[in-house]
């Protein structure tokens, strides 16, 4: 009996079947690896992290290389979808969400996937899942690394609906539910490293969450401890340092503040704390006893979001 011929395979040029399988497995492993700092290298890193983790309703224009339409990165879109392109009659603008229902553990790759989708689809299209599948280019190929975001914060989701558009019952219901969940938020601190947002959590509580990129994590924690030991790690009277979040490779200090005090009143004090931390980051002297105590206190109260 004649031997059956093996099925013809489309192998990469110059590769054996075994080499092709090993390469495919390596690609799969790389796709599963988590980027420790997904937006690293971007001037907009802190803004992207804040919009993804802390801000309820906001948009910011994002220039996408090779894309001839206006693109906006946003917090949430109707139905927690990944991206949409408005019909031409409503301007044809595109919106890409950071807070989505379907995603991977690599938000930088997911964002690149959604931005690439926006470049290659037509007005009226909707992207349900932002989960990157490996077909997307590097984020650095789509976004200028030096570009910053001018974030427009909203207190509801009326920006979902372009002027003159008919609203379906589903979208109307989704918007009402989303509006009910919005916590009043405002950006604070124009002259600081990173970005900070004030939020009124209700129940007599308000917070300032500050996403502050830093190169040396240990040096930054030591700086926090030194400033805390001097009694200067606060935003003024009746405020206190509450701890730090760890998210997307960054450390975000959090302060408890008074909700009845106008958020803009914390601008100067936040800038002062920023300056004090920057001065201490380069201090490589050993911590004294009180500073070590503060460092342990900070480490014991840190919360990792993702």
Q: Same domain for 201 and 147?
A: no
Three-state DSSP class for residue 41:
coil
Q: Please count the structural domains in the chain.
A: 2
Phi, psi of 13 (to 5 degrees): -60, 130
Q: Same domain for 163 and 235?
A: no
231: which DSSP letter?
T
Residue 27 lies in a domain: no
CATH of residue 241's domain is 3.30.1360
pLDDT at 228: 97
Q: What is the mean pLDDT of the segment spanning 219-225?
A: 96
Q: State pLDDT tens for residues 120-138.
A: 999 999 999 888 888 899 9
Q: Same domain for 48 and 161?
A: yes
pLDDT at 5 over 60: no
- Cβ neighbours, 10 Å, residue 130: 25
pLDDT at 140 over 80: yes
Phi, psi of 211 (to 5 degrees): -85, 110
Residue 208 lies in a domain: yes
Residue 85 lies in a domain: yes
Residue 35 lies in a domain: no
Residue 158 lies in a domain: yes
pLDDT at 234 over 70: yes
Q: Same domain for 104 and 196?
A: no
Domain coverage including residue 91: 44-180
Q: Same domain for 84 and 171?
A: yes
In terms of pTM, does the model score above 0.75?
Answer: yes
Q: State pLDDT tens for residues 72-106.
A: 999 999 988 999 999 999 999 999 999 998 788 89
Place of tokens 């914390």: 266
Angle, nearest 10°, between helix axes 267-281 and 217-229? 120
Q: Which of 154, 180, 206 is the last residue of a domain?
A: 180
Range from 53-57, 87-91, 211-215, 271-275 carrying the lowest mean pLDDT: 211-215
């Amino acid at each position: 009996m004649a031997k059956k011929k093996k099925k013809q395979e489309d192998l990469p040029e110059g590769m054996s079947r075994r080499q092709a399988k090993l390469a495919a497995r390596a690609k799969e492993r790389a796709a599963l690896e988590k980027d420790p700092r997904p937006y690293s290298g971007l001037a907009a890193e802190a803004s992207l992290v804040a919009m993804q983790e802390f801000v309820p309703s906001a948009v910011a224009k994002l220039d996408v290389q090779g894309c001839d339409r206006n693109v906006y990165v946003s917090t949430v879109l109707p139905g927690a979808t990944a991206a949409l392109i408005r019909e031409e009659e409503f301007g044809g603008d595109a919106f890409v969400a950071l807070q989505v229902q379907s995603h991977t553990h690599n938000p930088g790759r997911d964002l690149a996937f959604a931005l690439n989708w926006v470049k290659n689809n037509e007005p009226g299209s909707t992207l349900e899942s932002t989960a990157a599948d490996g077909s997307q280019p590097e984020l650095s190929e789509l976004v200028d690394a030096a570009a910053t975001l001018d974030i427009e914060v909203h207190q509801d989701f009326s920006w979902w609906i372009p002027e003159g558009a008919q609203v379906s019952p589903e979208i109307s219901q989704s918007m009402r539910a989303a509006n009910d969940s919005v916590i009043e938020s405002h950006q604070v601190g124009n002259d600081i490293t990173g970005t900070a947002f004030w939020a009124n959590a209700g129940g007599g509580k308000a917070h300032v969450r500050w996403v502050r990129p830093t190169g040396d994590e240990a040096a930054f924690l030591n700086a926090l401890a030194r400033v805390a030991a001097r009694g200067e790690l606060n935003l003024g009277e009746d405020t206190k340092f509450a701890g730090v979040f760890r998210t997307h490779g960054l450390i975000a200090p959090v302060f408890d503040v008074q909700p009845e005090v106008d958020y803009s009143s914390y601008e100067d004090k936040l800038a002062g704390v920023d300056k004090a931390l920057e001065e201490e980051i380069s201090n490589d002297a050993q911590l004294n006893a009180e500073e070590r105590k503060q460092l342990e206190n900070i480490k014991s109260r840190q919360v990792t979001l993702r």
